[in-house]
Amino acid sequence: MKIINIVFLFLVVVGLALSNPHHHNTWVNQDVQRSIDLTTQLSKQILSVKAKSLVDNNKNYQISFDNTYHVSVQAFDDKNNELKVHLSPNSINIKEGFNTFDIELNNKYKINEVLSLKLKVTLMSQMKPYPVEIKQGQTQLVLYNDNHYFTSPYKTETQKTTVKLASGKVESFSEIKPSSLKTNTIVYGPFSNVEAFTVSPMRIHFENSAHFMVLTQLKKEYEVSHWGNLAVETSYYLENQGAHLKGPFSRLDYQRNPGANPSHISEINEAVPLSAADFYYRDSIGNISTSVYQYQSNRINFKITPRFPLMGGWKNNFYTGYNLPIQNFLSVDSADGSYHLNVTFGVGIDNIYVEDHQVKIILPEGATDIKVKSPFPVTETREIRKTYLDTVGRPVIVLNVRDTSFENYRYIQVTYNLSSLSIFHEPLLVIGAVFTFCLFIMFYSRFDLSINKSKVN
Amino acid sequence: MALTPYYSPVDPTFYPLFAFLFSAVGLAFLAVFIMSELTSKRGGKNIFSELTMALVASCTLGLGGFFVLLSAGIYV
């Protein structure tokens, strides 16, 4: 019996291997236009892809990246609907050294049918300061590494790449025919008939005085209260990963001309929802001297000015918090009474790169059937937390993702059920405590604790 | 499926007022209860009226304490 099972399993495995849908000749890229924006610390790329299907019933398009890259991908079809993107389960088997992502298309493509896709790709930490150490007052040069070609598991017929740099000061750039540099734009291509997984290293060495503001760790906590509040607390572990400061920091030179050292971080601006109130901030080393909340037409700008500017390689840890009115974020489904919570994933700091991103959502005590809907893959774990007036503890959803940038602004939805009586649990606990005290007084007044026996008339 | 915004059963702007009112009334009830407990003679006690007074005092003072927590920003 066992042998039959093993043989059957073997046949299934062989069958799966033969019918593997991820072979590389399901598409051919007819034209790829790639524009790379290197004006910040991130490499923001917009790709428009026209691909022709080579098979029938084609529902899956793939893109690849070198597996050392930290990458975020968003895909849209020609009607601007967002498509699901996830790391292919057999990415390792497709090509060694590459991470291959699956894009789930909305409809099936017939043979010779043409697909047009728009991809938004963010490469994080592909730009490295070079030299790695600069003196105060020197400008920052960075070295950018990428591929001249669109990395694809399919053959690409024609393609062109346009790179927009932060400045026109280019020390050097890898030349490949045809390529051209005009002020701050480098154009690579058009190239024709590039085979799948062709890599030709692109290296651009140029001046970029953008902030290399990296959150090595970000912890965001949402605490839901059905008594009308959504409490938000965020812990930031900020690091300036630009060129490190060589030699001493001179406050005098800095104060005389703050603009001379453009890559330092002198302030941190975060967009906070307009309905936020009761702000606070604390930090571990007493570095932050000023924080201000500026009311703008569509948001509150939360600005922190550290006492010392963050020079290259310097760090700062702090946490902030505020309260939001629950009605803007929590909805109730009139059909089945379930609750839907919509919150953003990260912080509203422009062009921030988060290495280790954690979001905790603390739901009210007694929440059941908890489901999390996220537009990108997350690692989900659960824990229990006991705070004020809790008995069994509140369910906590912990979401972890590594290497995020644009995901910061995206919404996650949490659905749960909660009995409508359970919000009276907390006031009843307080009432019960006072009632117990009253019972104790009744009990006490019935005892005679006097030393002398009182006379009974 | 129709989603409507969820509102708190009590408008949060009333929390400080409720905290004050319920605490004041609750403390008064509790004071009356304790006074009557400690002054009434043994044998002259009626357990039902005592329990009623205890319940009224604990309900008002309990709600008062609860709204004190809410208005102080401890959203339970």
Confidence grade of residue A2 (pLDDT, cut at 50, 70, 90): low
As a whole number, mean pLDDT of residues A370-379 equals: 92
User: Looking at the predicted structure, is the pLDDT value of residue A37 above 50?
Assistant: yes
Contact A437 B42 (CB under 8 A): no
pLDDT tens track for A172-182: 999 888 999 99
Domains recognised in chain A with CATH numbers: 19-207 (2.60.40.1730), 213-422 (2.60.40.1730)
- Please give the helix or strand (H or E) that residue B22 lies within, else none: helix B15-39
Contact A442 B5 (CB under 8 A): no
As a whole number, mean pLDDT of residues A151-158 equals: 93
Cα(A298)–Cα(A271) distance, rounded to whole angstroms?
9
Nearest neighbour of B12 by CB, restricted to A229, A332, A423: A229
* B49 within domain boundaries: yes
B73 touches A: beta carbon within 8 Å: yes
Closest CA to A222 of A351, A367, A65, A359: A359
Residue A21: per-residue pLDDT: 46
* B24 within domain boundaries: yes
pLDDT tens track for B55-74: 999 999 999 999 999 999 88
**Interface list for A 416-445 with B (CB within 8 A):** 423, 426-428, 430-435, 437-439, 441-442, 445
A187 touches B: beta carbon within 8 Å: no
Which is it for strands A379-385 and A394-404: parallel, antiparallel or unpaired? antiparallel
* B4 within domain boundaries: no
CA nearest A363 in B: which residue? B76
**Which range, of A16-30, A166-180, A345-359, averages the lowest pLDDT?**
A16-30
User: Looking at the predicted structure, is the pLDDT value of residue A222 above 80?
Assistant: yes
As a whole number, mean pLDDT of residues A203-214 equals: 92
B67 burial level (CB within 10 Å; 0-12, 13-18, 19+): buried
User: Looking at the predicted structure, is the pLDDT value of residue A15 above 70?
Assistant: no
The answer to whether A234 touches A302, Cβ cutoff 8 Å, is no
What are the structure tokens assigned to A442, written together? 């009744």
User: Looking at the predicted structure, is the pLDDT value of residue B42 above 70?
Assistant: no
pLDDT tens track for A263-295: 888 889 999 999 998 998 888 776 666 888 999
Q: Is the dihedral of CA A84, A86, A90, A94 positive or negative?
A: positive
Contact A448 B74 (CB under 8 A): no
* B9 within domain boundaries: no
The answer to whether B7 touches A223, Cβ cutoff 8 Å, is no
CB atoms within 10 A of CB A140: 22
As a whole number, mean pLDDT of residues B13-32 equals: 95
User: Looking at the predicted structure, is the pLDDT value of residue A392 above 70?
Assistant: yes
Average of per-residue pLDDT values in chain A: 88
User: How distant is the Cα of B21 from the closest Cα of chain A, in angstroms?
Assistant: 16
* B67 within domain boundaries: yes
* B8 within domain boundaries: no
User: Looking at the predicted structure, is the pLDDT value of residue A17 above 50?
Assistant: no
Query: What was the ipTM of the complex prediction?
Result: 0.93
- Count how many domains chain B has: 1
Domain housing B46: 14-71
Contact B2 A448 (CB under 8 A): no
User: Looking at the predicted structure, is the pLDDT value of residue A48 above 50?
Assistant: yes
Residue B51 with chain A: CB contacts under 8 Å: 442
* B23 within domain boundaries: yes
Closest CA to A23 of A90, A111, A117: A90
* B46 within domain boundaries: yes
User: Looking at the predicted structure, is the pLDDT value of residue A454 above 80?
Assistant: no
CA nearest A434 in B: which residue? B58
pTM of the model: 0.84
pLDDT tens track for A347-358: 999 889 999 999
What are the structure tokens assigned to A369, written together? 């059937």
User: Looking at the predicted structure, is the pLDDT value of residue A1 above 50?
Assistant: no
A339 touches B: beta carbon within 8 Å: yes
Measured in whole angstroms, the distance separating CA A45 from the mean position of its chain's CA atoms is 17
A54 touches B: beta carbon within 8 Å: no
